[in-house]
Amino acid sequence: MNVLVIDGSRRAKSNTGTIARGLEARLVAVGATVDLWRVPNWSAAPEDLDAALTKLAVCDAVVLVAPVYLDELPAVTQRALEGLYARRDELGESAPRFYGIAHSGFPEPLQRKAELRTMKFFAASMGWPWQGGVGFGGTSPIDGRPLEEAGMFSKQLRKCLPLVVADMAAGWPFSAETVARCDRSPFPIPLKVMIWTVNARTRKTARAQGLDLEARVYAGEAPAGECRQEVGAAPRRSHICP
Ligand SMILES: Cc1cc2nc3c(=O)[nH]c(=O)nc-3n(C[C@H](O)[C@H](O)[C@H](O)COP(=O)(O)O)c2cc1C
Q: What are 55-106's pLDDT values in tens digits?
A: 999 999 999 999 999 999 999 999 999 999 999 999 999 999 999 999 999 9
Amino acid at 89: D
Classify residue 7: in a domain, yes or no. Answer: yes
Question: Which of 1, 7, 15, 3 minimizes the C-alpha distance to 143?
Answer: 15
pLDDT at 232 (0 to 100): 41
Which of 145, 167, 183 is the last residue in one of the domains? 183
Are residues 217 and 127 part of one domain?
no
Classify residue 242: in a domain, yes or no. Answer: no
Which of 155, 183, 211 is the last residue in one of the domains? 183
Q: Which of 72, 111, 116, 140 to mutate to test the pocket of ligand 1 (most atoms within 8 A of CB)?
A: 140
Q: Both ends of the chain: CA-CA distance in Å?
A: 55
Domain that holds residue 122: 2-183
Are residues 124 and 154 part of one domain?
yes
Q: How far apart are CA 163 and CA 165, in angstroms?
A: 5
Classify residue 27: in a domain, yes or no. Answer: yes
pLDDT at 189 (0 to 100): 86
Atom of ligand 1 nearest to the CA of 8: 26
Q: How far apart are CA 211 and CA 70, in angstroms?
A: 17
Classify residue 82: in a domain, yes or no. Answer: yes
Are residues 195 and 230 part of one domain?
yes
Residue with CA at minimum distance from ligand 1 atom 17: 104
The dihedrals phi and psi of 25, each to the nearest 5 degrees, come to -60, -40
For the question of whether the overall pTM of this predicted structure is more than 0.95, the answer is no
For residue 67, list its beta bridge partners.
Answer: 103
pLDDT in tens, the chain (242 residues): 999 999 999 999 999 999 999 999 999 999 999 999 999 999 888 899 999 999 999 999 999 999 999 999 999 999 999 999 999 999 999 999 999 999 999 999 999 999 999 999 999 999 999 999 999 999 999 999 999 999 999 999 999 999 999 999 999 999 999 999 999 989 888 878 988 888 899 999 999 999 988 888 777 665 555 544 444 434 444 433 33
Are residues 152 and 37 part of one domain?
yes
Are residues 214 and 141 part of one domain?
no
Are residues 147 and 227 part of one domain?
no
Are residues 74 and 35 part of one domain?
yes
Classify residue 166: in a domain, yes or no. Answer: yes
| Ligand 1 shell residues, CB under 6 Å | 9, 11, 14-16, 67-71, 103-106, 111, 139-140
Are residues 173 and 196 part of one domain?
no
Are residues 176 and 207 part of one domain?
no
Classify residue 241: in a domain, yes or no. Answer: no
pLDDT at 48 (0 to 100): 94
For residue 66, list its beta bridge partners.
Answer: 102
Classify residue 109: in a domain, yes or no. Answer: yes
Q: Which residues contact 132 (CB under 8 A, 6 or more apart)?
A: 99, 100, 173, 174, 179
Residue 57 CA to ligand 1 centre (angstroms): 31
Are residues 209 and 169 part of one domain?
no
pLDDT at 215 (0 to 100): 84
Number of neighbouring beta carbons within 10 Å of residue 89: 6
- The total domain count for the chain is 2
pLDDT at 101 (0 to 100): 98
Residue with CA at minimum distance from ligand 1 atom 25: 14
Give the CA diameter of the chain: 65
Amino acid at 54: T
Which CB contacts under 8 angstroms, 24+ apart, belong to 193-197? 194/107, 195/106, 195/107, 195/108
Are residues 205 and 141 part of one domain?
no
Are residues 218 and 151 part of one domain?
no
Question: Is-contact 139 111, C-beta < 8 A?
Answer: no
